[in-house]
Amino acid sequence: MGNSSNNHNSDAHASNHGHSKIGLPALVIGAIGVVFGDIGTSPLYTLKEAFSEHYGLVADHDTVLGILSLVFWALMIMVTLKYVLIIMRADNEGEGGIMALMTLAQRTLAKGGRSAYAVGILGIFGASLFFGDGVITPAISVLSAVEGLEVIEPKLHPFIVPVTVAILLVLFLVQRHGTERVGRIFGPITILWFLSLAVIGVMNIFHNPEVIKAINPWWAAKFFIDHSWHGIFILGAIVLAVTGGEALYADMGHFGRFPIQVAWNFFVLPALMLNYLGQGALVLEFPEAAKNPFYLGVPEWARWPMIALATAATVIASQAVITGAYSVARQAMQLGYIPRMQIRHTSRETIGQIYIPWINWVLMIAVIALVLAFRTSTSLASAYGVSVAGTMLIDTLLLALLVRAQWKRARIWVLPVCAVVVVIDIGFLIANGVKFFHGAWFPVVLGIIVFTMLRTWRRGRELLHEEVRKEGIQLDSFLPGLMLAPPVRVPGTAIFMTADQGVVPHALLHNLKHNKVLHERNVFLTVETLGVPHAPSEKRLKIEAIGNDFYRVLIRFGFMETPDVPLALMRSCDQGGVYFDPMDTTYFASRETIVASRHRGMPVWRDKLFAFMHRNAAPATGFFRIPGNRLVELGAQVEI
Q: Give me the CATH number covering residue 14.
A: 1.20.1740.10
**Alpha carbon 502 to its chain's center:** 35
What's the pLDDT at 428? Answer: 93
Is 299 buried (19+), middle (13-18) or exposed (0-12) by CB count in 10 A?
exposed
What's the pLDDT at 575? Answer: 56
What's the pLDDT at 47? Answer: 93
Residue 11 has pLDDT above 50, yes or no: no
Residue 445 lies in a domain: no
CB of 616 closer than 8 Å to CB of 490: no
Residue 347 has pLDDT above 70, yes or no: no
Residue 442 lies in a domain: no
Per-residue pLDDT band for 7 (boundaries 50, 70, 90) equals very low
Which of 64-78, 237-251, 522-536 is modeled with the greatest confidence? 64-78
Residue 3 has pLDDT above 50, yes or no: no
Residue 448 lies in a domain: no
Q: Which of 387, 415, 435 is where one domain is finished? A: 435
What's the pLDDT at 6? Answer: 40
* Whole-number Å distance between alpha carbons of 545 and 623: 27
pLDDT tens for 282-341 read: 999 999 999 899 999 999 999 999 999 999 999 888 887 887 788 788 878 877 888 888
* Whole-number Å distance between alpha carbons of 616 and 596: 16
Query: Which segment of 2-6, 42-46, 224-228, 489-493 scores lowest on mean pLDDT?
Result: 2-6
CB atoms within 10 A of CB 148: 23
| In a shared domain, residues 96 and 49 | yes
What's the pLDDT at 334? Answer: 79
Per-residue pLDDT band for 407 (boundaries 50, 70, 90) equals confident
Half-sphere exposure of 511 (CA within 13 A, CB side): 23
| In a shared domain, residues 245 and 350 | yes
Per-residue pLDDT band for 399 (boundaries 50, 70, 90) equals very high
More confident residue, 632 or 635: 632
* Whole-number Å distance between alpha carbons of 463 and 453: 15
Residue 455 lies in a domain: no
pLDDT tens for 185-196 read: 778 899 999 999
Average of per-residue pLDDT across 136-146: 89
What's the pLDDT at 1? Answer: 40
Angle (CA) 32 354 316, round 5°: 30
What's the pLDDT at 10? Answer: 37
CB of 589 closer than 8 Å to CB of 523: no
What's the pLDDT at 185? Answer: 72
| In a shared domain, residues 114 and 263 | yes
Q: Which of 414, 435, 456 is where one domain is finished? A: 435
What's the pLDDT at 308? Answer: 93
Query: Which segment of 128-142, 188-202, 273-287 scores lowest on mean pLDDT?
Result: 128-142
| In a shared domain, residues 360 and 508 | no
Residue 43 has pLDDT above 90, yes or no: yes
Average of per-residue pLDDT across 414-437: 91
Residue 450 lies in a domain: no
What's the pLDDT at 37? Answer: 84
What pairing do the DSSP bridges indicate for beta strands 585-595 and 631-639?
A: parallel
CA-nearest of 276, 266, 228 to 73 is 276
| In a shared domain, residues 213 and 326 | yes
Give me the count of residues in the chain. 640
Q: Which of 418, 435, 452 is where one domain is finished? A: 435
Residue 128 has pLDDT above 70, yes or no: yes
Residue 579 lies in a domain: yes
Number of domains forming the structure of the chain:
2
Q: Where are the beta strands (DSSP E) in 168-261?
A: none
pLDDT tens for 446-496 read: 889 999 999 999 988 888 888 777 777 888 888 888 888 888 888 889 999
| In a shared domain, residues 418 and 480 | no
Average of per-residue pLDDT across 363-387: 88
| In a shared domain, residues 497 and 372 | no
| In a shared domain, residues 70 and 126 | yes
Burial of 355-383, coded b for 16+ CB within 10 Å and e otherwise, reads bbeebbeebbebbbebbeebebbbbbbbb
* Whole-number Å distance between alpha carbons of 372 and 380: 11
Per-residue pLDDT band for 272 (boundaries 50, 70, 90) equals very high
Residue 312 lies in a domain: yes
| In a shared domain, residues 512 and 582 | yes
Query: Which segment of 8-22, 287-301, 435-449, 526-540 scores lowest on mean pLDDT?
Result: 8-22
What's the pLDDT at 576? Answer: 52
Report the percent of the chain where pLDDT is more than 70. Answer: 91
CB of 47 closer than 8 Å to CB of 39: no
More confident residue, 336 or 224: 224
| In a shared domain, residues 335 and 481 | no
Per-residue pLDDT band for 346 (boundaries 50, 70, 90) equals low
| In a shared domain, residues 401 and 525 | no
* Whole-number Å distance between alpha carbons of 451 and 337: 10
| In a shared domain, residues 57 and 109 | yes
Burial of 538-558, coded b for 16+ CB within 10 Å and e otherwise, reads eebbebeeeeeebbbbbbbbb
Residue 101 has pLDDT above 90, yes or no: no
CA-nearest of 366, 259, 378 to 321 is 366
* Whole-number Å distance between alpha carbons of 356 and 271: 34
* Whole-number Å distance between alpha carbons of 13 and 26: 18
Q: Is 586 helix (H, G, I), strand (E, B) or coil?
A: strand
What's the pLDDT at 9? Answer: 38
Contact partners, residue 510, CB within 8 Å, separation at least 6: 590, 634, 636
Phi, psi of 292 (to 5 degrees): -160, 70
* Whole-number Å distance between alpha carbons of 586 and 626: 10
What's the whole-number average pLDDT of the chain?
84
Is 286 buried (19+), middle (13-18) or exposed (0-12) by CB count in 10 A?
middle
Contact partners, residue 196, CB within 8 Å, separation at least 6: 306, 309
Contact partners, residue 630, CB within 8 Å, separation at least 6: 582, 585, 586, 587
Q: Residue 339 gets which letter from DSSP?
A: -
Residue 599 has pLDDT above 70, yes or no: no
Contact partners, residue 223, CB within 8 Å, separation at least 6: 62, 63, 66, 67, 69, 70, 231, 234
CA-nearest of 387, 356, 269, 293 to 67 is 293
CB of 374 closer than 8 Å to CB of 233: no
Residue 326 lies in a domain: yes
What's the pLDDT at 183? Answer: 60
CB of 188 closer than 8 Å to CB of 394: no
CB of 418 closer than 8 Å to CB of 396: yes
CB of 524 closer than 8 Å to CB of 501: yes
Is 629 buried (19+), middle (13-18) or exposed (0-12) by CB count in 10 A?
exposed
pLDDT tens for 550-584 read: 988 999 988 777 788 888 888 766 555 577 888 88
Question: Would you say the pTM of this structure is higher than 0.85?
Answer: no
Report the percent of the chain where pLDDT is more than 90. Answer: 31
**Containing domain of residue 475, as a range?**
464-639
What's the pLDDT at 475? Answer: 83
Q: Residue 113 gets which letter from DSSP?
A: S
